[in-house]
């Protein structure tokens, strides 16, 4: 029976007691451990499998946590977590009250920097390295970044600054030619040429004053360890280029790297995906409603173009890229560029649909304000993954968009309550608008099977009465309307509760609001965004401006960063599930009845 080295390791100090010749066996154990747990618990598989040898080598050579190790994005940090004290609780990864799927400073001293969005590692590591110099500390700072992330503007900003310092910084480029989707752009081609030995230009990283080495095989532990030991002796900014295979060690993950980035449940022995059998399979994902609709519209309207920053599969813009490739653009991990590219296109009469995850649009806030809204350019932002997204947690929830967009002049904000409304608003805006608009919709499936209906034009700034009542009016935006409808059905036998889908957070339908405030005794607003600054805040401001004195209850995301868990669990914790909504409505009805006596 072979010795289990992984069982002996609780912290990196235990790892450093192993003989170097035992490390390849440890790598196999670590891979098997990750595969076995992710197969049943789900998570980000391919990236972590690809850096098993690198993870072992880094903790073997460097004195972590004193030496600072920063993983860019964090999709690849599962092995790191297992080797740094979280092996016994790794099965709680991404689950409610369990460990985070990403490095998190509050979780472990080995997680030097919290990550989730890409391209931050070089800047963070450089900041730490400069601070160490100022504090008179002699330690190492390592940033591990992928070939997709390093093409982002922020990564170049970090490289540019680091190159004119003498900071003790090591940047490791984990080059596997893929992020979530295959990497794109001129830098990808440059790195491909470097790997082939055909690049005759000056080395771009040496030109930025880095001591460059590589490319080397990122799965060759002896070579990795030898090179890392050598680099420890060199002062100043250093750059190590390693070549890895995403999904290494699981055949299906190597062959289908996009699918196995985060594959869901699969058979740990065979690697085959576990097929889900439920009625939800008959309803489309909102991303697919977008993807199919933009193709349908673009085939008839040659002015339509599609843009996504590195998320063609996740956003389903891949449908347009396959059907009309010359009008669909994956610009890489470059949200700022995506927004201003769309603005430039809009000035020339094109109709840009700029599809960005809600949480990632935060990275391009200045461009939304300065390059689009200030100039009143008709860019159509389609914000996928709005609201609570589930297990990816605080870095990925799209709960701030309503608030951070609400204050921007000229910008229209629309939240469809179902797939039909998403389809209709996309049709409406491509007919011609003279303002920018943000259309935000959630991750996952809707509730309608029969969604592909003939297009209808939506009147900008108009809400919809879903049901009339007498005493309490519920005002909602977005797909949470479905939960509200179910809550009302369970309690309202006397038709005391009215429900209005406002559709537009901005501009508000003031005619409808005046009618509501003149006929109802109390108002509840519901949104899957932050209460502060969002839809509910706008309703409170409307009531105040018009001297309405009814009781107004605002429901939404509390003033906190929401952690990870299933969307059902998180909605319950935020009191946005059907049971909680029912309770809120009942309490308000009771207080009204009580005040009448």
Would you name the residues annotated as active-site residues?
A: 246, 335, 363
Taking the C-alpha atoms of residue 441 and residue 538, their distance in angstroms, rounded to an integer, is 20
Q: What is the DSSP string of 465-503?
A: EEE--SSEEEEE-STTHHHHHHHHHHH-SS--EEEEE--
Is the four-CA dihedral 587, 592, 595, 597 of positive or negative sign? negative
Length of the chain: 597
User: What number of other Cβ atoms are within 10 A of residue 108's Cβ?
Assistant: 17
Q: How far is CA 160 from the centre of its chain?
A: 26
Compute the Cα dihedral for 578, 581, 583, 585 and give only its sign: negative
Burial of 135 (0-12, 13-18, 19+ CB in 10 A): exposed
For residue 44, the number of C-alpha atoms closer than 13 Å in the C-beta half-sphere is: 22
Beta carbons of 76 and 144 less than 8 angstroms apart: yes
Among candidate residues 217, 146, 205, the one with its CA nearest the CA of residue 178:
146
The torsion angle over the Cα atoms of residues 192, 197, 202 and 206, rounded to 10 degrees, is: 80
Burial class (CB in 10 A: 0-12, 13-18, 19+), 543: middle
Distance CA 110, CA 70 (A): 9
């Amino acid at each position: 029976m072979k010795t289990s080295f992984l069982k002996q390791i609780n912290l990196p100090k235990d790892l450093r007691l192993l003989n170097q010749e035992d490390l390849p066996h440890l790598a196999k154990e670590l891979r098997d451990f990750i595969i076995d747990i992710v197969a049943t618990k789900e998570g980000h598989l391919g990236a972590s499998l690809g850096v098993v040898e690198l993870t072992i080598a880094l903790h073997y050579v460097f004195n972590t946590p004193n030496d600072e190790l920063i993983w860019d994005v964090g999709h690849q940090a599962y092995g790191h977590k297992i080797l740094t004290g979280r092996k016994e609780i790794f099965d709680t990864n991404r689950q409610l009250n369990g460990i985070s799927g990403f490095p998190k400073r509050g979780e472990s001293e080995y997680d030097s920097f919290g990550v989730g969005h890409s391209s931050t590692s070089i800047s963070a590591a450089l900041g730490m390295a400069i601070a160490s110099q100022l504090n008179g500390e002699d330690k190492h700072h390592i940033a591990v970044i992928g070939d997709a992330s390093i093409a982002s503007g922020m990564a170049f900003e970090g490289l540019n600054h680091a190159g004119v310092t003498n900071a003790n910084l090591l940047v490791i480029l984990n080059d596997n030619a893929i992020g979530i989707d295959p990497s794109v752009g001129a830098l990808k081609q440059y790195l491909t040429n470097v790997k082939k030995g055909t690049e005759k230009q000056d080395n771009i990283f040496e030109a930025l004053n880095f001591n460059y080495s590589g490319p080397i095989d990122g799965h060759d532990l002896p070579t990795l360890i030898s090179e890392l030991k050598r680099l420890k002796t060199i002062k100043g900014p250093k750059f190590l280029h390693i070549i890895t295979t995403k999904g290494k060690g699981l055949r299906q993950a190597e062959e289908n790297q996009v699918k196995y980035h985060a594959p869901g449940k699969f058979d740990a022995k065979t690697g085959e995906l576990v097929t889900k059998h439920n009625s939800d399979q008959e309803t489309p994902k909102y991303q697919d409603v977008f993807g199919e609709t933009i193709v349908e519209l673009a085939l008839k309207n040659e002015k339509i173009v599609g843009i996504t920053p590195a998320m063609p599969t996740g956003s389903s813009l891949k449908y347009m890229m396959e059907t009309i490739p010359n009008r669909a653009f994956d610009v890489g991990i470059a949200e700022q560029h995506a927004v201003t590219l769309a603005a430039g296109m809009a000035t020339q009469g094109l109709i840009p649909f700029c599809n960005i995850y809600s949480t990632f649009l935060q990275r391009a806030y200045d461009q939304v304000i300065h390059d689009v809204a200030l100039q009143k350019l008709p860019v159509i932002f389609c914000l996928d993954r709005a609201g609570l997204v589930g297990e990816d947690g605080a870095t990925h929830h799209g709960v701030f968009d309503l608030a951070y967009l609400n204050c921007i002049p000229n910008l229209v904000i629309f939240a469809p309550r179902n797939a039909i409304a998403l389809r209709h608003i996309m049709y409406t805006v491509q007919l011609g608008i003279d303002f920018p608009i943000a259309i935000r919709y959630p991750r996952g499936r809707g509730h309608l099977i029969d969604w592909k209906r003939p297009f209808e034009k939506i009147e900008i700034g108009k809400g919809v009465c879903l049901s009339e009542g007498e005493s309490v009016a519920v005002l909602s935006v977005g797909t949470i309307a479905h939960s509200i409808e179910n809550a009302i059905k369970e309690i309202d036998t006397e038709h005391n509760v009215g429900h209005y889908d406002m559709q537009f957070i901005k501009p508000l339908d003031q005619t409808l609001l005046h009618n509501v405030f003149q006929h109802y005794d109390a108002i509840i607003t519901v949104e899957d965004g932050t209460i502060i600054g969002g839809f509910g805040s706008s309703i409170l401001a409307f009531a105040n401006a018009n001297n309405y004195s009814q009781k107004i209850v605002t429901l939404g995301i509390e003033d906190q960063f929401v952690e990870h868990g299933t969307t059902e669990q998180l909605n319950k914790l935020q009191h946005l599930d059907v049971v909680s909504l029912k309770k809120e409505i009942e309490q308000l009805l009771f207080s009204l009845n009580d005040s009448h006596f």
